[in-house]
Amino acid sequence: MSNIQRNRWKDQVFKFWGIFCTLIGLVLLVIFIGNIVIDGFSRIDWDFITNLPSRKAENSGIYTALMGSIWILLLTTIIAFPLGVAAGIYLEEYANNNKLAGLLEINISNLAGVPSIIYGLLGLEVFVRIMNLGASVLAGSLTLSLLILPIVIVATREAIKAVPNSIKDASYALGASKWQTIWHQILPASGGGILTGVILALSRAVGETAPLIVIGALAYVPFAPKTPMDEFSVLPIQIFNWISRPQAGFIENAAAAIIILLGITFIMNAVAVYFRNKWQKKWK
| Statement: residue 122 has pLDDT above 80 | yes
Q: How confident is the model at residue 168 (pLDDT cuts 50, 70, 90)?
A: confident
Q: How confident is the model at residue 185 (pLDDT cuts 50, 70, 90)?
A: confident
Tell me the C-alpha distance between 12 and 6, whole Å.
Answer: 10
Greater pLDDT, 108 or 252: 252
Mention every residue, 6+ apart, whose C-beta is less than 8 A from residue 131.
139
State the burial class of residue 144 (Cβ atoms within 10 Å of its Cβ: 0-12, 13-18, 19+). Answer: buried
| Statement: residue 31 has pLDDT above 80 | yes
The pair phi, psi for residue 223, each rounded to 5°, is -150, 155
Percent of the residues in the chain that have a pLDDT greater than 70, as a whole number: 98
207: helix, coil or strand? coil
| Statement: residue 101 has pLDDT above 80 | no
For 45-86, what is each residue's pLDDT tens digit?
888 888 888 888 888 889 998 999 999 999 999 999 999 999
pLDDT of residue 281: 67
Tell me the C-alpha distance between 68 and 137, whole Å.
Answer: 7
> Which amino acid appears at position 124 of this protein?
L
The average confidence (pLDDT) of the chain is 86
pLDDT of residue 283: 59
Q: How confident is the model at residue 1 (pLDDT cuts 50, 70, 90)?
A: low
| Statement: residue 13 has pLDDT above 90 | no
| Statement: residue 194 has pLDDT above 80 | yes
Q: How confident is the model at residue 282 (pLDDT cuts 50, 70, 90)?
A: low
pLDDT of residue 216: 81
pLDDT of residue 78: 93
> Which ranges of the chain would DSSP assign to H, the alpha helix?
3-40, 46-50, 63-89, 99-111, 116-123, 137-161, 165-173, 178-181, 187-206, 210-215, 235-243, 248-282
pLDDT of residue 15: 87
- Reported for 24-33, long-range contacts at CB under 8 A and 24+ positions apart, including other chains, are 33/262
**Buried-exposed string 17-41: b where 16+ CB fall within 10 A, e elsewhere:** eeeeeeeeeeeeeeeeeeebbebbe
- Beta-sheet strands, E only, within 71-191: none
pLDDT of residue 199: 86
Taking CA atoms, 96 is separated from 12, 86, 90, 160, 186, in Å, by: 47, 16, 10, 16, 19
Determine contact, residues 168/177, Cβ cutoff 8 Å: no
For 201-228, what is each residue's pLDDT tens digit?
888 888 888 888 888 887 777 888 888 9
| Statement: residue 280 has pLDDT above 80 | no
Greater pLDDT, 159 or 275: 159
Average pLDDT score over residue span 250-277: 86
